Each structure stands twice: as structure tokens, then as C-alpha cells.
Amino acid sequence: MLLQQSCLNDECTETRTFVQFTPVFLTKTQIRTDVKMESERKLENPGKMYFYNNFLFINDQGKGIHIYDLKDMANPSKIGFYGIPGNFDIAVKNNILYADNVMDLIALDISNVYAPKIVKRIEDYQNRYGNYDPPTYYAYSIRSNQTLIVDCTDSNFQNNWFFLGNGGIAFEDTRAPANSVINSNTGNFSGTGVGGSFARFTVVNDFLYVVDQSTLKSYSVSNPNNPELKHTNQLNWGIETIFPYKDKLFVGSNAGMYIFDNSRPEAPVLLSVFEHARACDPVVVHDNTAYVTLRNGNECNGFINQLDIVDIENVLKPKLIKSYPMQNPHGLSVYDDRVYLAEGVHGFKVLDVKNPVNVKTLAEVKGNHSYDMISLSKEVLFMVGDDGFYLYDVQDDKSPKLISSIKKGQ
């Protein structure tokens, strides 16, 4: 009431801190350029990671891919940077790297990692909105911290997020998404690498699977140089991630988990959907159990933070075993009876999930932002977050030890 009276009697303002996302639009000419190795580019905005043949690929959101040599894991060596506008996702098969390039899908020959070569471009594989006078297309957003003075007569005064006049969006700093796009495999498939739980690209044998906001697309890569679209599964809006396990594909959305039979890899068949509260939703699987994190955040319209453990022994009728409250769960990885769970600004947790109705926290590692995890082996864990990449020794799962890191700005 006092606030309302001050608005009526006099001017009132409030100084608030926001994280602002400003969209970048590019022309097709700017988008469809050759990919070249750059040596001086520093890691600015870490996104998704992928491990292949001792090479670590870290996406710099919307701008391209950093490549590091991890033969000596204690001393990562920077190789260079591939500039790919609008890139967020990566998958590799037999030295062909598949990457999104705004509305296009490109196949990049990296047999000589220092001299990448585009061997195929599939134009307009996904729709991207844009401005049409002149024609430009949304590529990515630039994240920045802003302090704004908001007048109490402003329609945004009571909101913790709002749209900006330039087409951008601002989130109250405590609710900002971890990444500027509000959008893994097990590594057991021949000739491929390992991705994280937020992956939208994955390769299984001779097929590349790609999800966007509403579809699952299957590309034949029996000839890795020449991906060919074979089938499109139309899904509901809000698709986020894809995770292959044995002959199944698990697709995470902000409203549930889709389970596909992949025994006919050209055209996966939907078996069932496990529905949950609306929230951000990456998923990983081991044996007959799926692990799903639900996270609040305006990009997902969710209001809960928890880990769901789901029984998928009968894939036609997945059922919830138990939910566990978390602080701010993001990506996760599973290895045998251990789950490594990213908790954003709270670091990450090591969970003993041997008994799914009595999950125990073995360790909490704080001090760095954690966005996604890859449990490469029983001994080695990869972590990426807003402030960089971290490699841990997890042989003692109660006391993970940092082996090396690649910090933002390096």
C-alpha cells in the first residue's frame, strides 16, 4: 500500500539488476561462409561439450567451436577455433563433424583438425525467425549484465522478466537462464564421440538424430560426408534434448520424456511419454532407469527443482519411482550406480543411486558454475559451466579432485 501511495503522490523508481539477452541477426551471406581455423579466439560463452578421439570440442554459444587436445588430461592444449555463426550443437562420426549453422546443417571434414572443410551443407534444415527488410535471421543472443531503473508506472515494474524494445529479453539476475539459447550419448557407438545431457545432436551407428523445438529428424550418415534426411517425427512444442541408449532414443521436453524404439533406425517409433510438471528437462538412462532433472527458469515456465527417477523396465508404461528436491539442477550424467548432477551456481553433486528409493549424496563440489556433465569413465568426469570447463578425477567419489581446467577468457 505504501508503494502504491508513493506512486500516486510522487514519482517512484526502483533500481534492479537484470541479465539481458540481445539478439544478433545475420544475413544468409554472413551465415553461409567457409569454416576456417582461428588461433587467437578465447573462450567467451561456454556451451555444450563433446569428446572425440582425445579432442575436446566446446561450443562458444552462437559463434563456433573451440578445439583442445586432451591426450594429456592434466594439461589441455588449445588447438584453435572454428567460426560457425549460430552454432550450438555438435556430433562426430568418422572424422565428420555435424554442426548447426543458424538454419543450416553442415558436415565438416576434420580428418585434419587444423584444416576443416565443409563437405556438405543442408540448407534450411530448421526454421529460424528473422527480420525481413532486409532479410536477416536470428543467430544467437549476447548475454550481458544490466542495471536498470524501472519506474513504478512501467508495466514491467512487478515482473521478474520482460521483453525489450530491440527484440531482446531481460531476466532478473537470480532467475536468468544459464545459457543464451534456451533450447549424450553413451559413447559406445563405433566411430563416434561422447556428448552431454543437453545434446540436440547424436549419432548412433549410421544415423544422425537431430531434435529441434518440435521435431525429431533422422539422417542417414552411412556415407558420413553426405547426410541424407530419411524421416521426420513431428512432436509437441518444447523439445529440448536427445539421449540414445541401446535400441531406444530418449527425448526430453519441457513437459515430459518421449521414448522411441530405434530398432528401425531410419524411422524411430514413439512408444510412450512420461509426463511431468512443466520445467527444463534433460534426461539420461542406465539399465532400466531414467534420470530426469526438472528446473525452474523462465525459459521453461517451471517452478520446481528436482531429480525424478523413472522406472523404464516396461518402456510402454514408464512410472515414477521417486522425486528428490534439488537446488537448481541442470545437466547430468550416469555411470553405473553414480549420477553426477550439475547444480548451476551451486556446483555439482555426486549421487549414489544404487537404491533409487534411498538416493544418497556422496559429495558436493562447490565454487564453480556447473551446466552439464560427462562421466567419461569410472575415473574421469567432465564438467562445463558459465565460467569454463573442468576435468575431475572421481575415483574417490566422495572427494572428486580437480585435474585441470579451461577457464573462460583463456
Q: Is the dihedral of CA 163, 168, 170, 171 positive or negative?
A: positive
Instruction: Return the amino acid letter for 263.
Output: S
Q: How many alpha carbons lie under 13 Å from residue 18 in its C-beta half-sphere?
A: 23
CA gap 145, 49 in Å, rounded: 24
At 158-182, the pLDDT tens digits run 555 444 555 555 545 444 444 433 3
pLDDT at site 299? 54
At 40-60, the pLDDT tens digits run 899 999 999 999 999 999 999
pLDDT at site 160? 53
Q: Which helix (H) or strand (E) holds 8?
A: helix 2-9
Of 151, 175, 199, the last residue of a domain is 175
Q: Is residue 160 located within the same domain as residue 308?
A: no
Is residue 84 in some structural domain? no
pLDDT at site 65? 98
158: containing domain: 2-25+129-175
Long-range contacts, stretch 175-178, CB < 8 angstroms, 24+ apart: 175/296, 175/297, 175/298, 176/18, 176/19, 177/297, 177/298, 177/299, 178/330, 178/344, 178/369, 178/371, 178/385, 178/386
pLDDT at site 7? 42
Q: Is residue 313 located within the same domain as residue 353?
A: yes
Report how far apart, in Å, the C-alpha atoms of 399 and of each of 258, 349, 380 are: 35, 11, 13
Nearest CA to 91 out of 220, 201, 189 is that of 201
Q: Is residue 267 located within the same domain as residue 385?
A: yes
Is residue 394 in some structural domain? yes
pLDDT at site 273? 94
CA gap 89, 383 in Å, rounded: 17
Of 120, 141, 175, the last residue of a domain is 175
Q: Is residue 160 located within the same domain as residue 190?
A: no
Q: Is residue 346 located within the same domain as residue 391?
A: yes
pLDDT at site 237? 85
CATH of the domain at 380: 2.130.10.10
Give 389's strand partners. 384, 406
pLDDT at site 164? 54
Q: Is residue 168 located within the same domain as residue 193?
A: no
pLDDT at site 182? 32
Is residue 101 in some structural domain? no
Is residue 273 in some structural domain? yes
C-alpha angle 42-46-52 in degrees, rounded to nearest 5: 90
- Please identify every stretch of the chain with a pLDDT value under 50, giving residue numbers as ranges: 1-9, 161-163, 171, 173-189
pLDDT at site 24? 85
pLDDT at site 129? 67
Q: Which grid coordinates belong to 63?
A: 559463434
Q: Is residue 212 located within the same domain as residue 277?
A: yes
CA gap 270, 264 in Å, rounded: 12
pLDDT at site 254? 84
Report how far apart, in Å, the C-alpha atoms of 298 and of each of 1, 116, 177 are: 28, 38, 7
Tell me which residue has cell 548432477.
Answer: 341
CB 268 within 8 A of CB 250: no
Of 115, 146, 175, the last residue of a domain is 175
Q: Which helix (H) or strand (E) holds 220?
A: strand 215-220
- Strand 96-101 to 104-109 pairing: antiparallel
